[in-house]
Structures are given as structure tokens and as C-alpha cells.
């Protein structure tokens, strides 16, 4: 069985995040690039299954700038058998449709039995890529899983609902997305870090995937303007002199908040 886990290098959640006003894209030089935590949890689940089941191969796949290989090496150090990195300057600023099309092309080239993703990244929080991939690859889709059980011919799991939990299942091949409720990812051991240097890491371009580089070849979302978020104004401090409640009510009423 071949499990492909979509991993994503993102600006460090605990670092400074900045937006480039020239390109409208995240300024990746403003903070360290790390693997998104939700994709680490997805990877951990796949690796644990591989460790307990004979004949299971875990491959990490990402579409990211060329400097993202350090993050992929971490995925290899955690236990992935190999990694595939789609890197092409023509993909800078790719929207969700473009991203899904390229990832789908890479997945067709790689082959798979199960695709595991996070339910949304911390930088874009779009959460639409799993559904787009399912449409493009004509796969059954199970989203927002909080537990996952993989068998030889199916994947099962539970997702939270307003009234409790729902159990879902899909025949393989399939795609699933998992939530942050999955177990914490492991810290790579020294042996894993050293071994990651020898594991296969394939770099692919649009030409390798035979994907049309023409931006007009697919529907595009167009950025019309980009601006820095205005600084927050200082709040108003109300000193209680016996009429604080009335002043707070008046403050809220003036702003039509009550």
C-alpha cells in the first residue's frame, strides 16, 4: 500500500509574519519556514500505520518554493520513505485551482492507494484542496476526520458533528483530511535525521508533470489590490466614578453594538 501525505512548508506560526505589498504574497524571508503542524499530524498517522502494517510505504508530497527542501527532510526524518517536491518559479502565487491541478498531476504520476491531508493550513486556511483533488482525481473523500483506521481496502474514521460524532468510510483509493485533534507528531531522532539525508527526494517541474504553464489555461482568481492592515487604535479607558455602567452602555449604543 502506498500512502501519500500532502505536507506544506509555512511561515513559522510563532514567528513574525509579513505580507509583501509588491507581490501580495507572504514574505517568506520574514520568518523561518517550518512544516505546518496539521500536516505533521497527518504524516504521523500515516507513519504509525506503516510501522504496524507490513508492506506500507509513506511518501511526502509538497508544492512549494525551491528553498522548502529542509522541511521535506524533516518529513523524511520523521519516517516517510521518500518525498516529492514540486518546485517551479512559474507557480509563484498559484491560486487554489492551480495548486490542485498541479498536485493532482503529481499524484497521478506517483500513484497512490490513499492520500492524507490536513483539513486546512495555518497560512492560507482555505481548506478546499482535499475536495478539489477528490474532484480532479475522481476519488471518494472523507473530511475533517478526528480518528482514522486504514485497512487493506478501505479507510474509516469519525468526525465531530453538532450532536455528537459521525462514522464515515470510503473504499480505496481515497482521499481523507484530518484535524488538529490527531496525536502530536514525533520529534525526529538523530538516527532519523541522519537517515533522511540518504532517502529519495525527487524534484519535479511543470514540464515534468506535463502541466500547461500558461496562466490562462485554467480559471484564475485575480488579485486586484493589496494593502497593509491599518494599525489598531488605542482603546478607550473608562474610570468608574459611579456611572461606568451607563457610560459603557452609551459607548456600545453609539457604535450600534447593542
pLDDT for position 54: 94
Residue 33: other Cβ atoms inside 10 A: 17
Express each pLDDT in 126-180 by its tens digit: 789 999 999 999 999 999 999 999 999 999 999 998 889 999 999 999 999 999 9
62 or 237: which carries more pLDDT confidence? 62
Q: Is the pLDDT of residue 221 over 80?
A: no
In a 10 Å sphere around its CB, with 0-12 CB exposed, 13-18 middle and 19+ buried, how is residue 204 labelled?
Answer: buried
Predicted TM-score (pTM) of this structure: 0.81
Percent of the chain with pLDDT strictly greater than 70: 88
227 Cβ neighbours under 8 A, 6+ residues apart = 21
**Rounded average pLDDT over 110-123:** 90
The upper half-sphere exposure of residue 46, i.e. CA atoms within 13 Å in the direction of its Cβ, equals: 36
Domains and CATH numbers, the chain: 2-217 (3.40.50.620)
pLDDT digits (tens, 9 = 90+) for 9-65: 887 766 666 666 666 666 666 667 888 899 999 999 999 999 999 999 999 999 998
Q: What is the mean pLDDT of the chain?
A: 87
Per-residue pLDDT averaged across 180-187, rounded?
91
Q: Output the pLDDT for position 225.
A: 74
Amino acid at each position: 500500500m502506498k500512502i501519500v501525505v500532502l505536507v506544506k512548508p509555512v511561515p513559522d506560526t510563532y514567528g513574525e509574519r509579513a505580507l509583501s505589498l509588491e507581490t501580495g504574497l507572504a514574505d517568506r524571508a520574514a520568518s523561518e519556514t517550518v512544516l505546518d503542524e496539521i500536516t505533521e499530524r497527518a504524516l504521523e498517522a500515516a507513519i504509525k500505520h506503516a510501522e504496524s502494517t507490513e508492506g506500507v510505504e509513506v511518501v511526502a508530497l509538497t508544492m512549494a518554493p525551491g528553498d522548502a527542501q529542509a522541511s521535506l527532510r524533516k518529513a523524511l526524518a520523521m519516517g516517510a520513505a521518500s518525498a516529492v517536491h514540486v518546485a517551479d518559479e512559474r507557480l509563484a502565487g498559484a491560486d487554489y485551482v492551480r495548486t490542485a491541478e498541479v498536485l493532482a498531476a503529481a499524484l497521478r504520476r506517483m500513484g497512490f492507494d490513499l492520500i492524507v491531508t490536513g483539513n486546512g493550513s495555518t497560512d492560507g486556511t482555505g481548506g478546499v484542496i482535499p475536495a478539489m483533488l477528490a474532484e480532479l482525481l475522481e476519488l471518494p473523500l472523507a473530511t475533517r476526520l478526528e480518528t482514522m483506521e486504514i485497512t487493506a481496502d478501505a479507510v474509516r474514521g469519525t468526525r465531530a458533528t453538532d450532536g455528537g460524532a459521525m462514522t464515515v468510510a470510503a473504499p480505496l483509493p481515497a482521499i481523507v483530511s484530518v484535524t488538529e485533534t490527531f496525536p502530536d507528531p514525533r520529534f525526529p531522532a538523530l538516527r532519523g535525521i541522519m537517515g533522511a539525508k540518504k532517502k529519495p527526494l525527487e524534484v519535479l517541474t511543470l514540464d515534468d508533470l506535463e502541466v500547461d504553464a500558461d496562466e490562462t489555461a485554467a480559471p484564475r482568481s485575480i488579485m486586484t489590490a493589496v494593502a497593509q492592515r491599518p494599525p489598531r487604535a488605542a482603546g478607550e479607558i473608562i474610570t468608574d466614578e459611579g456611572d461606568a455602567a451607563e457610560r459603557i452602555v452609551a459607548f456600545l449604543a453609539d457604535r450600534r453594538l447593542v
